[in-house]
Amino acid sequence: MSEQEPGPTHSPYGQSDPYGSNPYGQVNPYGQQPSYGMQPPAGDRRPGTVTAAAWITIVCSALTALIFGFTALALLVARDQVIAEMEKVPEFRDANIDADAAVGVLVAVMVGLVIWAVAAIVLAVLVLRRSNVARILLVISCAVTALFSLLSISSGVSIVLLLASAAAIVLLFTGGANDWFKRLPSGPGGGYPGAPTGYPAAGPAAGPYGQQPPA
């Protein structure tokens, strides 16, 4: 009796094709399939607290820059009228202060505040881009702003700036912000985008099963 020749779909050993379901014949040793860049790793997702702190800074700093910028411009345009009004004040005359110099100091201070506000916006943008140095500088800026607002808390604007500065400082250190700033983002040599943590990409000399061939 002649033996039946194994067909192309039969295993010569009477077993099912080991490569029928997995092209490599083995289960992924890491327990999950790679996503190949569809989503960033969990450690690379920016915490919502960092985003909130940055946008609070951007909005408040932009409003501050606009207010002091327009005020400085108005002082320059109506400089003579402002000086005349200042000289009419008895207390100002008794103090023997040069009105023209006083207006110049006010304009310089307001221009400095505008520059400070613009710098805070730049720092907030860098914080969104994961710069830890920018985070530290932004915290210092918010702390100084809170101190000045506390000293002049008689106005509503000062109260808003005080609360915004305190909120930004707290948000920059909560909600996983510390871990996010310390962990390096995925990039060349750090595994394929979207790979789980600790799953390095196979090098160009990797074998067909993701392992290095023997020397």
Question: Is the per-residue pLDDT at 123 higher than 50?
Answer: yes
| Beta carbons of 212 and 205 less than 8 angstroms apart | yes
Q: What is the pLDDT of residues 63-73, one digit of tens each?
A: 999 999 999 99
Q: Which residues, including other chains, have CB under 8 Å from residue 183's CB and lie 6 or more apart?
A: 43, 44
Coil, strand or helix: which one is 1?
A: coil
Q: Are 83 and 106 in contact (CB under 8 A)?
A: no
Verdict on whether the full-model pTM lies above 0.85 = no
Q: Is the pLDDT of residue 192 over 50?
A: no
Q: Give the pLDDT confidence score for residue 87 in this predicted structure.
A: 78
The helix (run of H) or strand (run of E) holding residue 194 is: none
Give CA separation, 204 vs 37, 72, 211, 213, in Å: 19, 62, 11, 11
- Which tens digit of pLDDT belongs to each residue from 55-92? 999 999 999 999 999 999 998 888 888 888 887 777 77
Which tens digit of pLDDT belongs to each residue from 47-56?
999 999 999 9
Contacts of 82 (CB under 8 A, 6+ apart): 75, 99, 103
Taken in order 148, 141, 110, 163, is the CA torsion positive or negative?
A: negative
